[in-house]
Amino acid sequence: MQPLGSRNRIALLGLSVGLVLADSSVVTLALPKILVQFDVEVSTLAWALISFNLALALAAVPAAALARRRPVGVFGVSTVVFAAASLACAFSPTFGVLVGLRAVQGVAGAAVVVAALDLLSEATGADASAARIWALAGIVGASVGPAIGGILTQLFGWESIFVLQAPVALVGLLALRGVQARPVPEPAERPQIAANAALLLVSGALVAALFLLVILLINGWRLAPLAAGLVVTIMPLAAIAATRLARGISPLWTRAASGAILISGGLAALAWLPHAGVVWTILPQIAIGAGLGLALSALTQRALAGRSGQAVHGGWTIAARHAGIVLGLLLLTPIFTSDLNRNEHEALAAGTAAVLDSRISPLDKIGVARDVLVAVDRATAEGRIPDVRAVVDHRDDSAYADLGNALQDQLDRAVTNAFSRSFLVSALLSLLALIPIVLGRKEVGI
């Protein structure tokens, strides 16, 4: 068998890293379908994401310790396990089994990612280049995850996400062709605490951008998964552009701080959207994407810079990032579900007021109010937002058209506002990341 060229090896390893890290967000757009299929509560549904990220966070450092001794073996075995678990996820008979298999994916995925870092160092011949490529693959993977998941869900169903992952993961095994075994390296230094703490907080903040924004687009504003997937592609594009521009920004801590500020501002703008509609999310998404590109690349470079045993320190960054995602999910899910329930009541009251104050025939108001309530109850039972305009706006009468618009406006306001507090809490998490970034600015002298 011909040994693989280093460029191809690097591309394949980058693909493997991107694929695994995309998995933390790839099922986001499939969640509404999974919710209906397995008939679970929203708070329970979050475990489809939490189990993967928690397992990844817990397994990353032990897997890295193993991977730096046997990177080839660890990468090979974990890739096969990851592919098998992915395929099994597609055929999960119950939600519990799906959660369990997602955890298996997380453990195997952690080993794939940290072993890939070690193999990238071999392929590039330089730890710094390896760290840059590894970080970029992770950023792209995590940020394109929702878009790819949405497109696959709409075209082929949520199961197709996992079915497709398996062969793509196995393609990564080609990176092992002709890899030479290395001697066992010296013990790793202690982890870079400040950079990892900042990574944890920034990743927690990104939960809102990568998960909640998608839910707002699909479940709140009733966009098709494919359309929502395309909308959130803005973030990875901005992240890639920012990563390319970022090299000119030094020292590293200023790049990380700029990123955290941009993420925080983008999330605050999402919390204070002046109107429902995709167009209002574009600027905040650009800010978040650019911030993501700057902060994650800088913090990962800081965490890995000048450290021996790069795979272990890569493991720490993966642990920090995915612990941050778990923190974000655990923190935001109760806030979001509570605000959704509160706003459901406020929307009903505001909608009722719109009916009572409308120009339609007074005696029609009771019937219309009842029709709307029936539509709301039916939609709630099906886990979706009702199309209130369609309920009312079926008569050739401008008063009914106005009422339909007024009801839709109240619904849009309620849905959009239900996400507000969660986005603000996320913005705060990103701002908190400035503390370790500033405190740790002298830890690495670059």
Residues in contact with other proteins by CB under 8 A are: 249, 254-255, 257-259, 261-262, 264-266, 268-269, 271-276, 280, 283-284, 287, 291, 294, 343, 346-350, 352-354, 356, 361-367, 369-370, 373, 410, 413-414, 416-417, 420
Contacts 24+ apart (CB under 8 A), 3-10: 3/177, 3/178, 4/174, 4/175, 4/177, 4/178, 6/123, 6/124, 6/125, 8/174, 8/175, 9/119, 9/123, 9/175, 9/177, 9/179, 10/120, 10/123, 10/124, 10/133
- Measured at the alpha carbon of residue 437, what is the angle toward residues 60 and 144, in degrees to the nearest 5? 55
**Taking the complex as a whole, how short is the minimal distance between the CB of residue 300 and other proteins, in angstroms?**
17
Q: Indicate the residue type of 404.
A: G
Provide, rounded to whole angstroms, the least separation between the CB of residue 366 and other proteins. Answer: 6
Q: By C-beta, is 121 or 285 nearer to other proteins?
A: 285
Return d(Cα 364, Cα 361) in angstroms, integer. 5
In this complex, which beta carbon is closest to other proteins, that of residue 34 or of residue 271? 271
For residues 167 and 277, which CB has a smaller minimum distance to other proteins in the complex?
Answer: 277
Identify which of residues 23 and 412 has a Cβ nearer to other proteins in the complex.
412
Shortest distance (Å) from residue 367 CB to other proteins? 6
Cβ closer to other proteins: 24 or 343?
343
Q: How far is the CB of 76 from other proteins (least distance, A)?
A: 41
In the complex, what is the shortest distance from the CB of residue 130 to other proteins, in angstroms, rounded to a whole number?
25
CB of 341 to other proteins, least distance (A): 13
- Measured from the CB atom, the residue of 197 and 355 that comes closer to other proteins is 355
Cβ proximity to other proteins, 137 vs 268, nearer residue: 268
Q: Nearest approach, Cβ of 354 to other proteins (angstroms)? A: 8
Q: Minimum Å distance from CB 248 to other proteins? A: 9
Nearer to other proteins, 366 or 390 (CB): 366
Q: Which one, 34 or 296, has the nearer CB to other proteins?
A: 296
For the bound state, the minimum distance from the C-beta of residue 14 to other proteins, rounded and expressed in Å, comes to 26
Task: From residue 397, give the alpha-carbon distance in Å to each of 26, 360, 364, 374, 403.
Answer: 45, 9, 13, 22, 10
